[in-house]
């Protein structure tokens, strides 16, 4: 019998940095949306190519992994999309890739999983992101939930319909009224519109050539979902599709959207070696489970866990990028931590209620936007990206601003 192998030498955990992120403009799902006749994998290819175009200092062969998330891994979102998109994007065939699914937090998990590999020393540089073409692949397409979920009463029947879980959150916290949710949604639209007009949004976007059998070729250069000028009066009259006389409407929730995101992550020493910019440093992350029927509260325990493990408190956080799947979910988070609905640290350029939420892609949108904030806010040291996740989860990632000048936060 052979002698056991000697234990591996101990390793120091390496610093992981967020180099840059980009995304396609987000479209409206459906036959009239800008991506109705565009493949999901081609959206990912466009993102990968744009990252490489923006960073010629990164030799393609130095990319060690491509992690791409999709919630509905079928059709043009299937076939191990991280690997196939890498090949289609022109990366060397020596670059591996994989697909990942954690529903809305797919891209977030692609980042945290591959970043863990960097910290451990398995990778030096990775590309991580996500895609969702909800027009081609509606949420839940092809799934077959085990009947025991309901037969054994493991979850409430509403747990499988995200809009119903948002209504449940209103039930659990009746002080989170429809009026508060609508007011938050109006503010999100206004902040996004102001940021767009100030040129803040365009830095994230890569134009995408689109084709329509009816209209021919075109170019997607801007997000399709925003509704500038939204008012409380307009939102008050919207239908409540998830419950008669409910509180969740198309106006205070993110829509059904198509789009892709991607980011370059690297070991900090490797970034310095290659001349890659350092936009953010990873501090820590956590995922947490909650009752699936109130999945929107997931960011609360995820954030508490992440802060505790990082040795920080909520008062250390100077910027918050919170995914706006539903306004009530954001409000539940803010109320728990004693943060005002209109706190300027929260989603300064608006959020998913305005720009859209193509499920598995959204986590990297939050990170890219936080990186832009950090560049403009050297007074802020720490920020978080956080989101609720279907089937009762939440995810939070804490980031440090490399431009911090020693200010209070």
> For residue 154, is it within any domain?
no
For the chain, how big is the Rg over CA atoms in Å?
A: 21
22 falls within a domain: yes
Coil, strand or helix at 332:
helix
| Domain ranges, residue 61 | 16-137+254-399
CA-to-CA distance for 248 and 227, rounded, in angstroms?
A: 17
Tokens encoding 334: 């803010």
pLDDT tens digits for 272-305? 999 999 999 999 999 999 999 999 999 999 999 9
Catalytic residue among 104, 133, 137, 170: 104
In a domain, 220, yes or no: no
Q: Is 205 among the domain residues?
A: no
Query: Would residue 208 count as lying in a domain?
Result: no
Percent over 90 (pLDDT), the chain: 94
Answer whether 47's CB lies under 8 Å from 24's CB. yes
Q: What is the mean pLDDT of residues 97-125?
A: 98
Which of the four pLDDT bands, split at 50, 70 and 90, describes residue 215? confident
pLDDT computed for residue 3 by the predictor? 54
**How many angstroms separate the Cα of 250 from the Cα of each of 223, 236, 238, 254, 356?**
17, 11, 7, 7, 11
Average pLDDT across the chain, whole number = 96
* pLDDT band, very low/low/confident/very high, at 5 (cuts 50, 70, 90): low
For residue 214, the model assigns a pLDDT of: 87
If you average pLDDT over residues 354-364, what whole number do you get? 98
- Give the mean model confidence (pLDDT) for residues 76-85: 97
- Is 355 catalytic? The answer is no
Which residue out of 133, 137, 357, 373 is catalytically annotated?
357
In a domain, 242, yes or no: no
As a whole number, mean pLDDT of residues 193-202 equals 97
Is the confidence at residue 4, as pLDDT, over 90?
no
CATH of the domain at 84: 3.40.47.10
| Average pLDDT value for residue range 203-221 | 94
C-beta of residue 330 within 8 angstroms of C-beta of residue 324: yes
Measure the CA angle with vertex 142, ends 141 and 148; round to 5°: 110
Q: Does 234 fall in a domain?
A: no
pLDDT of 219:
96
Predicted confidence at residue 203, as pLDDT, reads 93
Indicate whether 170 belongs to any domain: no
CA distance 100 to 114: 11
Count structural domains, the chain: 1
Enter the DSSP assignment of 93. T
Can you give the pLDDT at residue 11?
76
Distance of CA 341 to the CA centre of its chain: 21
Which residue is it, tokens 């192998």? Answer: 5
Across the range 10-29, mean pLDDT stands at 94
- Contacts of range 87-93, beta carbons closer than 8 Å, 24 or more positions apart: 88/41, 88/42, 88/45, 89/44, 89/45, 89/48, 89/49, 89/52, 90/49, 90/60, 91/48, 91/52, 91/60, 91/63, 91/66, 92/60, 92/61
Query: What's the whole-model pTM score?
Result: 0.95
Here the tokens at position 260 are 């892709």
For the segment 88-102, the average pLDDT, to the nearest whole number, is 98
What does the alpha-carbon distance between residue 116 and residue 133 come to, in Å, rounded to a whole number?
28
């Amino acid at each position: 019998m052979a002698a056991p192998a000697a234990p591996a030498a101990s390793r120091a955990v390496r610093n992981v940095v967020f180099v840059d992120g980009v995304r396609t403009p987000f479209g409206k799902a459906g036959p009239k949306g800008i991506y109705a006749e565009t493949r999901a994998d081609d959206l990912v290819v466009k993102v990968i190519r744009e990252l490489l175009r923006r960073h010629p200092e990164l030799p393609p062969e130095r990319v060690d992994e491509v992690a791409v998330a999709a919630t509905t891994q079928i059709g043009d979102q299937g076939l191990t999309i991280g690997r196939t998109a890498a090949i289609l994007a022109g990366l060397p065939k020596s670059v591996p890739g994989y697909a990942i699914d954690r529903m809305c937090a797919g891209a977030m998990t692609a980042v945290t999983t591959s970043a863990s590999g960097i910290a451990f020393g398995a990778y030096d540089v990775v590309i991580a992101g996500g895609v969702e073409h909800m027009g081609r692949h509606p949420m839940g397409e092809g799934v077959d939930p085990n009947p025991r979920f309901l037969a054994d009463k493991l979850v409430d029947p509403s747990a499988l319909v995200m809009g119903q879980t948002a209504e449940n959150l209103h039930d659990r916290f009746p002080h989170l009224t429809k009026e508060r949710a609508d007011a938050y949604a109006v503010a999100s639209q206004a902040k996004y519109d102001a940021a767009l007009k100030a040129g803040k949004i365009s830095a994230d976007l890569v134009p995408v050539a689109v084709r329509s059998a009816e209209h021919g070729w075109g170019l997607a250069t801007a997000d399709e979902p925003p509704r500038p000028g939204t008012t409380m009066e307009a939102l008050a009259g919207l239908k409540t599709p998830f419950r008669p006389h409910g509180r969740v409407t198309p106006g205070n929730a993110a829509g059904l959207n198509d789009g892709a995101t991607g980011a370059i992550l690297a070991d900090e020493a490797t970034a310095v070696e290659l001349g890659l910019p350092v936009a953010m440093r990873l501090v820590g992350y956590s995922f947490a489970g909650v009752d699936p029927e109130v999945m929107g509260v997931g960011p609360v325990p995820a954030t508490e866990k992440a802060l505790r493990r990082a040795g920080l408190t909520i008062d250390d956080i100077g910027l918050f990028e919170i995914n706006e799947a539903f306004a009530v979910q954001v409000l539940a988070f803010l109320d728990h931590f004693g943060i005002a609905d209109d706190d300027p640290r929260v989603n300064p350029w608006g959020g998913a209620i305005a720009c859209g939420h193509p499920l598995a892609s959204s986590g990297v949108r939050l990170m890219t936007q936080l990186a832009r904030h950090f560049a403009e806010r050297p007074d802020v040291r720490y920020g978080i990206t956080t989101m609720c996740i279907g089937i009762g989860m939440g995810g939070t990632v804490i980031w440090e601003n490399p431009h911090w000048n020693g200010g209070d936060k």
